């Protein structure tokens, strides 16, 4: 039976990593410090000017045929994510008038990976049979020896594990800075997409919208306290006493946050799928800072171009700037997330006539090589 109330274990996992992984605390502190600098310096805004496409691999860990979700159901989930993160979901019209101006487009899109880590073609779906009846918080679903599926490289793919979860859980995510071998999102198989096994009230695909928000360093909007003392580190989400559930009626006033109350329709609250509609501009800025920092491998670099066939992405550098030249073929043996594994040709040395950039770019950082791979 599907859970009747949203329950996310992301903060439980956060606390566990603080205890078990000595490096996680420092990584999170550095991520928060970088976020503050990126917001102040404009680096987060520079990410916002470009579309970011994140390759996804679904690990469908199943014991029964019903748990082996169809490709159509998984695609319906990606369709929801692409509407929600682009603010093109029709139900943004239900956002109360005081907050309509805060609804923001994150310019993030998700697609199934087309290449696996070895460079072979893939449909972006890994199907793994298991004897486990259910999984809980922790990393068992991410380990083959414990009935799960091994992660693909976390700097190239968003790993999403789909399985049966116990304890009424809908899902959980790993915040930036955790171990790469376990990085990604776990979601209940009856809370995926909008068809097939998706079960009300979590049959709108919003569980993954919520959990990917955590993966991009967003917190719950009430700050995970129950006394108005918490916060989500985003200035345009009102403080509130605790999570909202079900389908509340506007306004819900707590913590002296009248007249409009808490932003229960935010994706980072606990309401039903049919009652959440938005990320705010402040949340989008925080996610962009994450893509400029701890998850920068997913964001394309300034001055980069990608071949139409999904090949290698490179920039060229001269003493006066860097640009992409039609005459220079990429020479950057590197992994491109979910695409081609390397490029084989070498960029020719530009002649004096061809070394004049037609589209100047910001000078490259000191110490970069003449042909610098970038995303």
Residues contacting 217, CB < 8 A, separation 6+ = 31, 35, 175, 176, 286, 287, 289, 290, 294
Q: Annotated catalytic residue: which of 19, 45, 195, 211?
A: 211
HSE at residue 309, side-chain half, CA atoms within 13 A, is 6
The Cα 326–Cα 374 span in angstroms is: 17
**Is 211 a catalytic site residue?**
yes
The Cα 127–Cα 144 span in angstroms is: 12
3-state class (DSSP) for residue 211: helix
The Cα 260–Cα 280 span in angstroms is: 15
Q: How far is CA 30 from the centre of its chain?
A: 19
Residues contacting 62, CB < 8 A, separation 6+ = 68, 69, 127, 128, 129, 130, 163, 189
Q: Quick one: angle between helices 22-41 and 10-20, nearest 10?
A: 120
Which pair of tokens denotes residue 119? 């460079």
Q: Phi and psi for 22 in degrees, rounded to 5? A: -55, -30
Active site amino acids: 211
């Amino acid at each position: 039976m599907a859970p009747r109330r949203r329950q996310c274990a992301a903060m439980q996992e956060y606390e566990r990593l603080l205890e078990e992984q000595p490096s996680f605390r420092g990584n999170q502190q550095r991520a928060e410090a970088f976020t503050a600098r990126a917001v102040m310096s404009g680096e987060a805004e520079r990410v916002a000017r470009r579309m970011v496409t994140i390759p996804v691999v679904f690990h469908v860990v199943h014991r029964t045929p019903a748990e082996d979700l169809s490709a159509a159901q998984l695609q319906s989930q990606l369709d929801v994510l692409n509407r929600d993160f682009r603010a093109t979901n029709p139900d943004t019209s239900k956002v109360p008038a005081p907050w309509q101006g805060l609804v923001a487009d994150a310019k993030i899109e998700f697609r199934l990976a087309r290449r696996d880590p070895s460079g072979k073609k893939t449909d972006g779906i890994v199907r793994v049979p298991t004897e486990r009846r259910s999984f809980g918080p922790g990393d068992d679903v991410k380990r083959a020896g414990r009935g799960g599926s091994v992660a693909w490289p976390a700097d190239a793919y968003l790993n999403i594990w789909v399985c049966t979860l116990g304890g009424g859980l809908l899902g959980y995510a790993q915040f930036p800075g955790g171990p790469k071998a376990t990085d990604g999102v776990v979601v209940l198989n009856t809370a995926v997409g909008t068809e097939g096994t998706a079960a009300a009230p979590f049959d709108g695909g919003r569980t993954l919208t919520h959990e990917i928000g955590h993966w991009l360093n967003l917190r719950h909007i009430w700050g995970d306290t129950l006394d108005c003392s918490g916060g989500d580190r985003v200035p345009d989400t009102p403080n509130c006493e605790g999570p909202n559930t079900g389908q509340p009626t506007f306004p819900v006033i707590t913590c002296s946050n009248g007249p409009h109350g808490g932003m229960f329709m935010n994706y980072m609250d606990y309401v039903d799928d049919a009652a959440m509609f938005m990320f705010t501009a402040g949340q989008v800025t925080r996610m962009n800072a994450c893509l400029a920092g701890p998850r920068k491998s997913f964001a394309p670099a300034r001055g980069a171009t990608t071949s139409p066939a999904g090949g290698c992405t490179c920039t060229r550098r001269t003493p006066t700037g860097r640009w992409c030249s039609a005459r220079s073929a990429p020479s950057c043996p590197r992994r491109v997330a979910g695409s081609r594994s390397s490029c084989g040709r070498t960029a020719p040395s530009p002649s004096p006539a061809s070394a004049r950039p037609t589209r100047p770019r910001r000078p490259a950082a000191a110490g970069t090589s003449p042909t610098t791979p970038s995303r």
